[in-house]
Amino acid sequence: MIKKIQQTQQQVISGAILIASLGYFVDIYDLILFSIVRVKSLKSIGIPDADLLAQGVLLLNMQMFGMLIGGLIWGILGDKRGRLSVLLGSIFLYSVANIANGFVTNIHLYALLRFIAGVGLAGELGAGITLVSEAMPKEIRGYGTVVVSVVGVLGAVVAAMVGDLFDWRTAYFIGGAMGIVLLLLRIRASESGMFGAIKERSIKRGSLLLIFKSWPSVLKYANCILIGIPLWFVIGILVTFSPEFGKALGMSEMPTAGHAIMYTYIGISIGSLLSGVLSQWLASRKKAMAIFMGLNGACIALYLLNFHPSAGIFYITCLLLGIACGYWALFVTIAAEQFGTNIRATVTTTVPNFVRGAVVPVTLAFQYLKGAIGIINSAEVIGFCCVALAFLALAGLQETHAKELNYIE
């Protein structure tokens, strides 16, 4: 009987990790694909060269705004309806939106579909990390989220390869098809046992009011968001607009966004493994976070101060940036561990999407300063502020390694 129970538990854990990992793979593929095909797709629908950066920022911001809205919707549903239903629902929505993106003919439809895709993309990671965190033993759950992250971020590498090898419309079709196939396979996964236990009880759950019930709770939530903002400063500005930075750095051979993203995400995959293992080895989420945040700040400086690099050196710098950004899954895990079961999905889904959504004010500030002090100086100022705020936020969070998660707010 004991052996049968153990086998069932193992199947639950394996199913949760598998569907969360593959779902995140397709999620990242779609999220990053736009950055890779940005120039090609905009030119194809008739956007002049002079407007490529401005229209690219518009579409990126529409996608991120969709993720802000979607984060709230999926997060609340995750605590009211269940983690698994949100995971599958989000995969379906962003897969359909991805396919529709392959048919766009004007900037207005493109912007609308990036918004819808953003809403869909908002639910997968938070629901997946919540499901895995609640399914695994507390002493080793960090390893489960490492697997999700390592497999997931490789979706960006595949996106870069597909974006280079195929027409941009075909690249969108491939991404949508992968998501639909994932749903049709109906990978076996069970609902979180912790969620199932509170679902049968009359406990208030899935409410933002539970987060904003007290100042310490609000501050903890804000700190969870702030520690992740440097990551999307790197992805949303330094990597997405790498061709513009290459020109400003005086490169003789201009980098492509596709290659910059590919090398960055190879680095993120490596960094995800290293940061997760380090947090388990140190038995501390905060110490591992501090180390990687310091590396992140150093690599941002290296990227922005390395004038006249060769293409090879530039891409190596992107690889190092990616490794230093490898604490993304660790950051989401910390958010999941900070709050009780009745609002855990809400927190874990909204936090990474508010971080992604922070790209909107960050890019707007970057564009504003760029006109006054130039692209390099603007990025230096914004990057320094993001990293400094992240360190202050980390200091205000509690250590959560091996914390018992079966409690309510």
Average pLDDT over residues 130-148: 79
- Between CA 263 and CA 318 the distance in angstroms is 6
For residues 28 and 20, is the Cβ–Cβ distance under 8 A?
no
Q: DSSP string spanning 181-200?
A: HHHHHT------HHHHHHHT
| pLDDT averaged over every residue in the chain | 85
Residue 344: its pLDDT value, please?
Answer: 84
For residues 176 and 99, is the Cβ–Cβ distance under 8 A?
yes
Residue 2, pLDDT above cutoff 60: no
Residues in the chain: 409
Residue 204: its pLDDT value, please?
Answer: 72
* Confidence label for 322 from pLDDT (cuts 50, 70 and 90): very high
Please name which of 397, 362, 394, 396 lies closest in space to residue 381, comparing C-alpha atoms.
362
For residues 282 and 331, is the Cβ–Cβ distance under 8 A?
no
Residue 192: its pLDDT value, please?
Answer: 60
For residues 335 and 346, is the Cβ–Cβ distance under 8 A?
no
- Between CA 250 and CA 162 the distance in angstroms is 29
Q: Enumerate the domain spans of the chain.
A: 9-186+208-395
- What tens digit of pLDDT does each residue of 65-87 get? 888 888 888 888 878 877 777 87
Name the most confidently modeled range: 68-77, 227-236, 356-365: 227-236
- Between CA 400 and CA 409 the distance in angstroms is 16
Residue 35, pLDDT above cutoff 70: yes
* Confidence label for 8 from pLDDT (cuts 50, 70 and 90): very low
Please name which of 324, 287, 273 lies closest in space to residue 400, comparing C-alpha atoms.
287
Predicted structure pTM score: 0.79
Average pLDDT over residues 196-215: 74
The residue ranking higher by pLDDT, 258 or 63, is 63
* 9-186+208-395 topology per CATH: Growth Hormone; Chain: A; (1.20.1250)
Residue 10: its pLDDT value, please?
Answer: 66
Residue 227, pLDDT above cutoff 90: yes
Q: Which of 22-31, 133-142, 213-222, 228-237 has the lowest mean pLDDT?
A: 133-142
The residue ranking higher by pLDDT, 203 or 244, is 244
For the chain, the first-to-last Cα distance in angstroms comes to: 34
Residue 187: its pLDDT value, please?
Answer: 58
- Judged on CB neighbours under 10 Å (0-12, 13-18, 19+), 92 is middle
